[in-house]
């Protein structure tokens, strides 16, 4: 689904889910969760979790307060400044995009954990912003 990048302000508050592929009761594809709470029109709190699924189940997570402009937020990992993780909001989903100067970078996470994806909005309620590093998506 293409993103409508007009200038209409989108309130990103809510919970967004990425469902992995399930084979033989094992999640074999990337899965994750993003929780966002708009603090001001130009600032949001965000917590993020992504897992690469079976067999390694490696995951990455962070929580931070980010600038919000033109319906997007950008996160630059402290341990990998060659990468920017961009969150593009369209009202019903958020697209995760990676911008990097080094094509071999991992954005500070284990190899293969973070990848471009579309997380679908599951709730527009104010979520709890918390560390999701021990989180598992069922």
Topology of the domain comprising 14-123: Lipocalin (2.40.128)
Gap between the Cα atoms of 52 and 125, Å rounded: 27
Gap between the Cα atoms of 70 and 73, Å rounded: 8
pLDDT at 77: 87
Task: Encode the chain (138 residues) as per-residue pLDDT tens digits.
Answer: 455 555 799 999 999 999 987 888 877 888 999 999 999 999 999 999 999 888 888 888 999 999 999 999 999 988 878 899 999 999 999 999 999 888 778 888 888 888 899 999 999 999 989 888 876 554
For the record, the structure tokens of 130 come out as: 């918390």
pLDDT at 109: 84
């Amino acid at each position: 689904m293409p993103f409508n990048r007009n200038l209409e302000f989108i309130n990103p508050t809510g919970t967004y889910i990425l469902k992995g592929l399930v084979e033989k009761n094992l999640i074999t594809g990337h899965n994750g969760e993003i929780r966002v709470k708009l603090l001001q029109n130009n600032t949001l709190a965000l917590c993020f979790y992504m897992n690469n699924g079976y067999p390694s189940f490696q995951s990455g997570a962070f929580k931070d307060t980010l600038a919000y402009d033109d319906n997007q937020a950008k996160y630059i990992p402290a341990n990998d400044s060659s990468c920017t993780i961009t969150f593009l909001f369209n009202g019903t989903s958020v697209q995760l995009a990676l911008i990097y100067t080094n094509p071999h970078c991992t954005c500070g996470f284990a190899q293969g954990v973070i990848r471009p994806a579309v997380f679908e909005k599951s709730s527009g309620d104010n979520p709890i912003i918390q560390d999701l590093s021990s989180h598992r998506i069922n």
